[in-house]
Amino acid sequence: MRVRKLERKRGWAFTVAASILKPTLLSATSRTWIDGEKIPASGGCIVAINHISHVDPLLSAHFVYDHGRLPRYLAKSGLFSNKYLGGFLTSAGQIPVERLSRNAVGAYDAAVRAIGEGECIVIYPEGTLTRDPDLWPMRGKTGAARIALATGCPVIPVGQWGAQEVLPPYTKTPHLVPRKNIVMKAGDPVDLADLVAAEQSAEVTAEATDRIMAAITTLVEDVRGGTAPAERFDTRASGQRETGNPHDQTRKRKGSR
């Protein structure tokens, strides 16, 4: 697989993280990186990835890092409440976001600013682990699209598969034996030029979101060797909450009867 050298200095937080996490990931997983060079070597960009496991941020960081970029994430604000972890994440340039809150606009502003400073922002457009029963990409949130439309930056879709075997969704015990293979494939930038030039509206943002999710889904089909459902799973239509463990919600509903 082809990799690129970093164009930017890592800083202490990334140096520490890379020295600890990369050897661990190398020993615990094998990797199939496909077309990672499609991630721009420099300049502000968004890398948009499907979300199938809580270990995704580590594995996608490995993919992005191997192709010469320092990944910046929109991370749950709760992670920053711990003094030491919060300090580390802040030093690494990660962006806290209060999901389903009006304060999420602060994360949007920070992401737009980071793009303007030439950073690579990694976003899971679904907003949480997919709830699709077969782990196909579900309906996306508008955050990635809004940032892309505001900045005009390239959006690089990535489809991944294999992380769910390392750590299945909503579980806490990783499965490291036998060694799992992680496949990630980057695609061409999502064509949003006409939407960037258009007058911004809810309809334009929805169309941009759909294009991003469609591109990701096509890549996931490639790496899985299957066909995604014609209609993406929608948490609202299914009556699920948009955050939290859906299995816990099911158990609570049964227990209340």
pLDDT tens, residue by residue, 213-223: 999 999 999 99
Residue 77 has pLDDT above 80, yes or no: no
Q: In whole angstroms, what is the distance from residue 69 CA to residue 155 CA?
A: 14
**Which CATH number describes the domain made up of 30-73+120-224?**
3.40.1130.10
Which pLDDT tens digit goes with each residue over 152-179? 999 999 999 999 999 999 999 999 889 9
pLDDT of residue 95: 75
pLDDT of residue 245: 77
The ranges assigned to domains in the chain are 30-73+120-224
Higher pLDDT, 188 or 243: 188
Percent of the chain with pLDDT over 90: 61
Whether 95 and 85 have beta carbons less than 8 Å apart is answered as no
Higher pLDDT, 107 or 9: 107
pLDDT of residue 251: 47
Higher pLDDT, 17 or 112: 112
Average pLDDT over residues 22-29: 88
Average pLDDT over residues 133-148: 96
Q: Which long-range contacts (CB under 8 A, 24 or more apart) does 129-135 make?
A: 129/51, 129/52, 129/53, 129/54, 129/169, 129/170, 130/50, 130/51, 130/52, 130/169, 130/233, 131/233, 131/235, 131/238, 131/240, 131/246, 132/229, 132/232, 132/233, 133/233, 134/229, 135/52, 135/164, 135/169
Which pLDDT tens digit goes with each residue over 40-71? 999 999 999 999 999 998 899 999 999 999 99
Average pLDDT over residues 180-194: 98
Residue 81 has pLDDT above 90, yes or no: no
Residue 105 has pLDDT above 80, yes or no: no
Higher pLDDT, 5 or 24: 24
The structure's pTM equals 0.88
Average pLDDT over residues 76-90: 64
